[in-house]
Amino acid sequence: MDSDRLRATLVGFGGAIAVLALLLYLVGVDDLLTTLSRADTTTVALVVVATLGWLFAWGLALRTVLGVLGERVSPVQTFLVFSGAMFNNNITPFGQAGGEPVTALLISETTETEYGTGLAAIASVDTLNFVPSISLALIGAAYFATEVTFGKNLQLATAGVVALAIAVPVGAVLLWRNRERVQEASVGRIYRVGGWLGRHIPGISAPTRESLERRVDHFFEAIERVAASPRGLALALVYSSLGWLFQMAGLWLAFEAIGISVNFSIVMFIVPMGAIAGVTPLPGGVGGIESVLVFLLVAAPLPGVTESAALAAVVIFRGAVYWVPVVLGGIVMSTVGAGVRS
């Protein structure tokens, strides 16, 4: 890891620790520890199982996309590669935006394919994961709204989900229709940045415009191949939806572990909302995701869900969702991806 990336990561973790410390101060450490001490260990273990199910399901989505691109990999391979992807996302600021370029190198090295194919594959999976997250969130919100009256905060959160459900597809269509101009602009911008880095940073050689055009062309060709496979897209969406359901089950089980039963519809709504906080400049969204989850859980009129109970459930859930892929992905990156990090 170069000094700039290391510095950015350290600053990001410093920010995450500060946000978590503030959250603990507001909720109360003693109340949190008391609630956690009563957690059922068997149910906590099931949260870990649900986390493994999420990683495996999204690994299958990645395998499906790679299959469309002509790469044959086993389910175990994509499970490990996706764990490596989550490791990268969890230790770099801005989540996926920071970790996916390294993940593309990992895919390229694992499958012995071009970098553009790996980047197209992981970018496609990230895009596909958005669709079921918003769909499930809207279904959960609609059902939960029949049970209780939404307060102002939940109304604003629901409006945000609806806005995303409209804005993101519209933006994607506009970008796709103008992909040739986007492609040309991407080459020009990367060429200028690469040239500046090559002139000012020792050891970095500026890429030629021809090599950049070839790589960007390959990336967009791979994206087009994925978009032109309805069967592959449908199967990847099924796996993506299954992964989201595993995550939602993890938060639901976390509440069960501390002796509180919540309606599954509320976790369908809240888990995707928390994931949006992953785009913050904090490694893996640490601090931001926890704060959003606790805020929304407390805002929802849920029987028995106090601030300490909400934070305890979130700590169990996020402890599994964050640390399981960090441990597994760390092993992958230290073996298969040893050359990727250099």
Residue 120 clears pLDDT 50, i.e. is over it:
yes
Nearby residues of 202 by Cβ (< 8 Å), 6 or more positions away: none
Structure-model confidence comparison of residues 53 and 192, the more confident one: 53
What per-residue confidence (pLDDT) applies to 284? 65
What tens digit of pLDDT does each residue of 64-103 get? 999 888 888 889 989 998 898 888 888 776 555 556 777 7
What tens digit of pLDDT does each residue of 270-290 get? 898 888 776 666 676 777 788
Residue holding tokens 């999420």? 54
Q: Is 150 helix (H, G, I), strand (E, B) or coil?
A: coil
Q: Delimit the domains of the chain by residue range.
A: 3-335
Q: Given phi > 0 = left and psi -120 to 50 = alpha, else beta, which region is 114?
A: beta
HSE-CB at 321 with a 13 A cutoff on CA atoms is 27
In terms of Cα–Cα distance, which of 90, 91, 86, 84 is closest to 5? 91
Which of 161-170, 253-262, 263-272, 290-299 comes out lowest in average pLDDT? Answer: 161-170
What tens digit of pLDDT does each residue of 173-231 get? 777 677 667 666 665 665 565 555 455 444 445 556 665 566 666 667 777 778 778 89
Nearby residues of 230 by Cβ (< 8 Å), 6 or more positions away: none
Task: Indicate the pLDDT class of residue 256, thresholds 50, 70 and 90.
Answer: very high
pTM of the model: 0.79
172-181: list long-range contacts, CB under 8 Å, 24+ apart. 172/127, 176/227, 179/220
What per-residue confidence (pLDDT) applies to 208? 60
